[in-house]
Structure 1
């Protein structure tokens, strides 16, 4: 879904930053279910609506194409509104800005990531039970799983499980199963996945249907055809920093991503309503 309030500028900027005129005001005006990705070529904001359709966002680009930046910007907005976040950072360097922030569980090692995801599966069950008892999950905080370098992380989780599992344990890693279940059941439980990767094995292409928003940077024609086969005309690649295509429905919006530094993202998380005004 594209949210289109009045934009402060008529054309896509060369860069879009938190300090630019109108950007903070735009973020303040958005409800907590909408996260601003950036602005289109006609100056319109492009947002992901986590309460509409599938609740997850997939980000894919070549190395250096801005996937970490997009995840950082979206995560900061959600935390700013009181969401909790499980940050899975196999590289141990992509999201250190979240260290010590309220509501964040930061997991840098594969064993920690495995244990956190197994716990996540239990949380999903708990939330569904809560919904069955109370009718909805509106009183539960949003929980966002930030999965950086997803393909490598999933591969490492499978290898880790092969080294620790007992003979009576299932062959598939319960951590991988937890992510898969979250992709299919997350919406009703106010649980979201922000995933950077190509959706290669073990999930397969059917998992793509659980992402209502795709943010595609410098990707190959083959990746376009695999992740967004419903887009008839594949857009030309662009090496401009922060320039992506946001695929929502049958449309691919050329978009300049909102760029937040680590320090800006951390500060935005702890900004109060009084400071905003």
Structure 2
């Protein structure tokens, strides 16, 4: 196939894009297109969790675009939006639980532990997780949210309760065990080792990196070789997608506006 250049912008209205999205199985979502014009996708059945780390913005757009596609195929989502403005498009959807207050985010994450146990019990009784509804946890501004959750736990923790927030424990448990019961995490940021540990961070089998510092590249793509040398001015929407630890593809991300994401999520577009 003849090599092409990346488009300056990739939109839902581009020729053939809707048809490409419609042809994907329910477990897959398009991140963008590569230099050969081929879709770059994430398949949650094979790579259950994804991390987005960008400098200069764009991570909210990526999370929005991925989430809308998964909702379109019948998934439900828990959207944790500490900034309160990044995912208002999803706030009133019946298939979305939207949380923005730190205390509510804490309780929602703690509730994931119960949901994980319930799903594991169902899978054990039925022999598989095929009948379980896919649940996607969308973690906007993950680093700031984790810091505020830590401070919140310090203020509400009672004597005798663990020093580590149960919200952190639940998140780590989902990263390790959620894959087998159709629970997935889409995380925006660079989670600290003190929260998830090295093994927890390694559960992100798809990593989307946009002009990140060399140190961030080394943390999340150590087997992929040295960080690419970006030349010229930053281009919004240009990322490197690392999958399987050592497979890297440069891509222009698909950018859905709020109305487009809402339409895609509800099946209206």
The reply to whether TM is greater than 0.5 is yes
For the pair 1:227 / 2:228, whether they are aligned, the reply is no
1:74-153 equivalence runs, <5 A: 74-153=66-145
1:1-277 equivalence runs, <5 A: 11-52=5-46, 54-64=47-57, 66-200=58-192, 201-237=194-230, 239-249=234-244, 250-271=246-267
Structure 1 segments, 4+ long, off by >3 Å, are none
Q: How many residues align?
A: 265
Separation in structure 2 between the aligned mates of residue 39 and residue 129 of structure 1, nearest angstrom: 39
Would you say the 8 A contact 1:199–1:207 is kept in 2?
Answer: no
Separation in structure 1 between the aligned mates of residue 201 and residue 229 of structure 2, nearest angstrom: 22
Separation in structure 1 between the aligned mates of residue 140 and residue 177 of structure 2, nearest angstrom: 21
* Deviations 1:71-96, CA, capped at 9 Å, x for gaps: 00000001111101000011111111
Deviation at 1:233, TM superposition (A): 3.0
TM-score, normalising length from structure 1?
0.92
Separation in structure 2 between the aligned mates of residue 203 and residue 223 of structure 1, nearest angstrom: 16
Unaligned runs of 5+ in 1: 1-5
RMSD over aligned Cα atoms: 1.7
Deviation at 1:11, TM superposition (A): 4.4
Unaligned runs of 5+ in 2: none
Deviation at 1:63, TM superposition (A): 3.6
Deviation at 1:128, TM superposition (A): 0.2
Deviation at 1:205, TM superposition (A): 2.5
Q: Which residue of 2 aligns with 1:3?
A: none
